[in-house]
């Protein structure tokens, strides 16, 4: 998979203009940054790290499964 655009190694780029909410699912042990209910295409790009994008190639969410969840 290749990211389209002119990105430079060692720099970060914002994927959304909005502040993204964070959701924790204590039953699955997953943490979601973005919209957990919106559907799209998902790809696991590292172990326990899944990104979801829509048909317009816009970021929907990032799913992480850390070894332990933060205390809330």
Residue 1: the pLDDT is 43
* Chain segment 20-55, per-residue pLDDT in tens: 899 998 888 899 999 999 999 999 999 999 999 999
Q: Is the pLDDT of residue 18 over 50?
A: yes
Q: Which DSSP string corresponds to 5-58?
A: S---TT----S-SSPPPEEEETTTTEEEEE-SS---EEEEEETTEEEEE-TTS-
């Amino acid at each position: 998979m290749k990211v389209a655009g002119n990105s430079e190694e060692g720099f970060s780029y914002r994927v959304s203009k909005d502040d993204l909410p964070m959701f924790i699912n204590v039953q699955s042990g997953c943490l979601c940054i973005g919209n957990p209910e919106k559907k799209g295409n998902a790809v696991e790009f590292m172990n326990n790290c899944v990104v979801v994008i829509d048909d317009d190639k816009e970021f929907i969410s990032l799913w992480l499964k850390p070894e332990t969840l933060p205390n809330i």
